[in-house]
Structure 1
């Protein structure tokens, strides 16, 4: 398997190469590139690789510019420190979306998805793309969370969580039955651990479940006001910069 790595941090690129080669003895890293321009040049001059590991924010811009300049037909595994580009990534040959700092297990799982993709098309004469995307799309995420309340540990099923929010420097879970729990994780950590198909981070304070959304209204200064099926301590506002991605997320079910 011929693989190229597009990553502007040399140390991260080397770590990624070592991890890949440690997991796949038959893999060959045919190139490592740090910028959009150099990646486009290499892809235009050479043959297509079997797989690309690609950072999103490169030295001279976002990696999505590469797709505008050259046709990429192979699967792409995105490795990035930012979670807000996941929707765009899966529109661009994305098989997996690995958040930095990645682990060996993260890369192993991403390569497993590539194998599944390959086997899927080998076994089916007419591919069922809806089935493929359902299995290889956004990560499923955690199915439950361990919480502590009234001197007891218990688990809360993720599907029962209406929203997560931060208040007074503490993170809370609120379920559809209005039960509330505190949790020792930041919203950044939660964003990367729950399904990006089911949950959306509205702002710095709230992550909401799609099932909890009752309606969305236009608000002042081109913001959106989100109303849930249960009450929230604050108004749920999405700023104008994030409103398009939020509405796209709601539409693409």
Structure 2
């Protein structure tokens, strides 16, 4: 299997390549590209690979621009920090949509889907595209979380949660009334379970509620500084790669 990686973060591209080759030793990474322009050039002149792993926001624009210039006939697995492009991904050969930071298990599951899709076509069976779309489309999310405190179980309504964060290897809930609770789920699990319209993963440590945002201002190196209505243990910064997605998320209300 010949595979191309389109990813503008070199460290991420290298990590992804190592994961792929570890899971599929017979695969070959035939190209790694960082921009829309270089990807269009390579795909126009070279042989179409069997599979493409593709980030969405590249150095010179969104990856969907590639599809306007090149007819891509192979499956595409989108690996990205942004969860608002699922429908676009589905329309552009997307067979899976893996959110960063991804794990080896995430990549293994994505490769499994590609193999299943290949088997479908070999058997001349049409895959259930409606089921695939339902898996790609974000759900409305959980409405409450179960916590254990003072030897008792109770639920916390999602609407009462200002943000989730990691502190000393534990995941915490911070409510608008400034009450805090430890929760058993990881921040990755919580991110996948809550509404992507209501919560945004700022970085590896913080997942914030839209209603908790007080103001946002530009910061050094094209970052954004986010202030919430209640104080946070750390300064909330959005890196330049994620700032466009964050502002777009704020607009979609």
TM-score, length basis structure 1: 0.63
Cα 1:168–1:93 change in 2 (3 A) is: closer
Matched, 1:200 2:197: yes
**Is the partner of 1:53 in helix, strand or coil?**
strand
2:162 corresponds to: 166
Aligned length: 202
Counterpart Cα distance in 2 of 1:139 and 1:128 = 18
Cα 1:171–1:95 change in 2 (3 A) is: farther
Whether contact under 8 Å (2:75, 2:94) holds in the other structure is yes
Counterpart Cα distance in 2 of 1:101 and 1:167 = 19
Q: What is the CA distance between 1:30 and its match in structure 2?
A: 0.8
Counterpart Cα distance in 1 of 2:43 and 2:37 = 10
Report Cα offsets for 1:128-147 as digits up to 9, x if no partner: 4334544x534789999552
Whether contact under 8 Å (1:6, 1:35) holds in the other structure is yes
Report Cα offsets for 1:209-232 as digits up to 9, x if no partner: xxxxxxxxxxxxxxxxxxxxxxxx
Matched, 1:47 2:47: yes
Q: What is the CA distance between 1:126 and its match in structure 2?
A: 4.6
Whether contact under 8 Å (1:39, 1:66) holds in the other structure is yes
RMSD over equivalenced CA pairs, Å: 4.1
1:30-69 to structure 2, matched below 5 A, reads 30-69=30-69
Whether contact under 8 Å (2:40, 2:69) holds in the other structure is yes
Report Cα offsets for 1:170-203 as digits up to 9, x if no partner: 446xxxxxxxx956499x75663227xx763377
TM-score, length basis structure 2: 0.63
**Is the partner of 1:110 in helix, strand or coil?**
helix
1:103-252 to structure 2, matched below 5 A, reads 103-134=103-134, 137-138=136-137, 146-149=146-149, 151-153=151-153, 165-166=161-162, 170-171=173-174, 184=183, 189=188, 192-194=191-193, 200-201=197-198, 205-206=209-210, 241-242=248-249
Whether contact under 8 Å (1:141, 1:193) holds in the other structure is no
2:226 corresponds to: none
Whether contact under 8 Å (2:97, 2:136) holds in the other structure is no
Gaps of 5+ in 2: 166-172, 201-207, 212-246
1:71 corresponds to: 71
Q: What is the CA distance between 1:19 and its match in structure 2?
A: 0.8
1:84 corresponds to: 84
Cα 1:51–1:153 change in 2 (3 A) is: farther
Report Cα offsets for 1:48-74 as digits up to 9, x if no partner: 111101111212111111111111121
Gaps of 5+ in 1: 173-180, 208-239, 247-253
Whether contact under 8 Å (2:4, 2:52) holds in the other structure is yes
Report Cα offsets for 1:111-165 as digits up to 9, x if no partner: 111112222223344554334544x5347899995522452357x7xxxx77574
Cα 1:126–1:95 change in 2 (3 A) is: closer
1:7 corresponds to: 7
